[in-house]
Structure 1
Amino acid sequence: MKLTVFGATGGVGQEIVRQALTAGHQVTAVVRDPARLTVTGAGLDVFRADLADAEALRPAVTGRDAVLSGLGARSRKHAGDATRLTRAVLGAMEAEGVRRLLAISAAPIGPVPEGDAALDRVARGIVSRIYKDVYADLRAMEAGIARSATDWTVVRPPKLLNRPVSGMYRVAVGGTPPRARSLGRADVAHAMLAMVGDATTVKQGVGLAY
């Protein structure tokens, strides 16, 4: 497949690029600073662009089978980036007629799972208050994606860890796995690549967790 990856220098983004290349896909990695992309390999095209400029992004998505986005706020002070930058990605995709989009959000944006223990609910509430601006940004991002003409999937992992890919995690299409506490960045990437051709995830939020 021909894939475009936004947020390609982030923890999940680099894993998406690495695993996609290993699987033999052609990958366009869209970055602000190519020096921050440590992944190399045959089939990789590094595309430098202003991520907020939809017109500048059009050549990066034209003719692609799918776009995978790891865009988001790097910290609380960057809240708003996910909505702003994803808006540009959607504009480029719609201008070029590219349909398939997979984007990263976060578990607290999804529905509260039935059967969660009281401690899990309390912890979720505390985290949501601390990162309320970031989560407000992600909710706005998701709303913009849902209004788009794309065949979208929003992936909602819990706390992210640096662990090797295992392929062993729970998936809840349209929901959140109970006791969703953590997941490795490599497994988020693994899940997103597996969902590219999965019609059951189209126009769905998908919860992930170990």
Structure 2
Amino acid sequence: MAHLLVIGASRGIGLETVRAALAAGHRVRAFARSASRIDLPGPNLERFPGDALNGCDIGAALDGIDAVVQALGVPVRDLIGPVRLFSEATGILVPAMEKTGVRRLIAVTGFGAGDSRDVIGPLQRLPFRLVFGRAYDDKDAQEIRIRRSRLDWTLVRPGVLTGGAATGCYRVLDDPASWRNGLIARADVAHFLVAQVADAGRIGKAVVLIDRALPL
């Protein structure tokens, strides 16, 4: 079993990843500013309060770690202004991982980041840009920084996130020709992320995750 660092562990996909990793038997270091409030049981959970934009916090959190899941998010209220969290946090994390020798990085971005932007359907394109444009411009920069690294990375681009339990019936779209937007439960995204810790088959690749497809 691996010793896994989850960055952005207090909510959303990050919290679901902590839950899934513990269920799979991994040791988990849950990193977030509000990590002390994570209400999950188990001796394999270490709550690690820290700031993803603080190099000292990130460096300390990487000690003894086998793999990193980066699952950052920003509140909806922050989407109306400039968004820099994804690129700036990645600009701290990547060199810290390279320095400490932690090679495996599984980073959550989203459908519409990087080259998946080209396949956003015409009905979705305008509202997507109006609501999420600033965040996804920053996710583009995040992905570029990861791609240029020496790490064993995988970029994970989920579609529109939903709540609820994991279904295990989601689709992993590896081929760019198959990429399209869809719905997927956060718990299913977490299931996929944890599976990648021990799976080298998608190192150096970007995948889209969906359950049900949305209209183009």
Q: TM-score, normalised by structure 1?
A: 0.89
CA distance in 1, matches of 2:206, 2:67: 17
CA distance in 2, matches of 1:124, 1:201: 28
Cα gap change, 1:163 to 1:89, in 2 (>3 Å): same
The total of aligned residue pairs comes to: 206
Q: Tell whether 2:164 aligns with 1:160.
A: no
CA distance in 1, matches of 2:173, 2:185: 16
Could you report, residue by residue, the CA deviation over 1:162-191 in whole angstroms, capped at 9, with x for unpaired residues? 020111111112537455221000000001
Q: TM-score, normalised by structure 2?
A: 0.87
Please, what is the CA RMSD of the aligned residues?
A: 2.0
> In the alignment, what sits opposite 2:214?
none
Contact 2:152-2:204 within 8 A present in 1 as well:
yes
CA distance in 2, matches of 1:176, 1:190: 24
Cα distance, 1:61 vs. partner?
1.3
Q: How does 1:146-185 map to 2 (within 5 A)?
A: 146-175=147-176, 177-185=178-186
CA distance in 2, matches of 1:78, 1:197: 36
CA distance in 1, matches of 2:75, 2:161: 13
> In the alignment, what sits opposite 2:68?
67
Structure 2 unaligned segments of length 5 or more: list them. 212-216
What SS does structure 1 have at the residue aligned with 2:150?
coil
Could you report, residue by residue, the CA deviation over 1:92-130 in whole angstroms, capped at 9, with x for unpaired residues? 21121100000111111243687x9xxx43214431343
CA distance in 2, matches of 1:176, 1:47: 40
Structure 1 unaligned segments of length 5 or more: list them. none
Q: How does 1:32-51 map to 2 (within 5 A)?
A: 32-51=33-52
Larger deviation, residues 13-22 vs 172-181: 172-181
What SS does structure 1 have at the residue aligned with 2:201?
helix
Cα gap change, 1:49 to 1:169, in 2 (>3 Å): same
